Amino acid sequence: MNPVRLHGEPPTYLTFPALEQLGLPHASTTRHCPRVARASEPVAPFEGGGPDILRSAGLDLSKMVYLNQVHGDVVRRVDGGARGFAGEGDILLTSTPGVPLSIFTADCLAVILLDSRRSLLALAHVGWRGMVQGTIRRAVMAMAEAGAQPEEMWAAISPSIGPCCYEVDQPVIDPLSRAFPEQWAQWVTPRGEGKWMLDLWQATQDQLVGLGVKPDQILNPRLCTSCRLDRYFSYRREGSTGRLVTVAALPA
């Protein structure tokens, strides 16, 4: 099975076939989807026809929930009739069918967590700052506190910057090494004096496994936004040119 399925020509979004088999409506957009604004204010984040395009993925974006993402570990649970702006945070969690949760990125990771048996879904925004803050652990623990079982969760990592392109320096390495003293060295490759290439994909996967998620239920297609400017936006390569959005909703 291919790790992702592309939709459209040129592709406007991608899906994970393994999550499709579980019945999860979801999508991660490309740069060919109509422009997506930065989700940082209580305003509609889409500009153009994005909602119409993603309706084909089974997503009603008139009910979409989004955050002011701040590279932290705050969880916002949204249930019932909640929609629109959910405040400040980097993790969204729901048990309500038909509520599209969304994370906006342009190099950072959007991580989908699903326990389909217990109808629980979370989306998390993860960059190096969030990694240090413990975003992955907090997302998994929030799911577990809601009743999910880590060994039954599926996780999917959106297109994001890879270790091929993500060069960092001492101001990143210092807090990373303090937060993960026994693991951080496995996630970096020295690049020269005071420079390292950081693998946030592997860091995320290792933490998920350490929290009980089965390795074969972690979908990590290793699609680099910086390498593929023909398909994705990259803040590091391009600045504030555009955003990708990953959206998922429990099946109604």
Domains of the chain in start order, with CATH, are 5-161+200-248 (3.60.140.10)
Mean pLDDT of 76-81: 90
- Asked if residue 100 has a cis previous peptide bond (ω within 30° of 0), the answer is no
User: Would you state the pLDDT for residue 14?
Assistant: 97
Q: Residue 231 and residue 236: Cα distance in Å, rounded? A: 15
Q: Residue 78 and residue 73: Cα distance in Å, rounded? A: 16
Q: Kindly report, residue by residue over 140-181, the tens digit of the pLDDT.
A: 999 999 999 999 999 999 999 999 999 999 999 999 999 999
Whole-model pTM: value is 0.95
Q: Are the CB atoms for 153 and 114 separated by under 8 Å?
A: yes
Distances (CA, A) of 10 to 14, 26, 34, 105, 127: 11, 19, 12, 20, 28
DSSP code at position 30? -
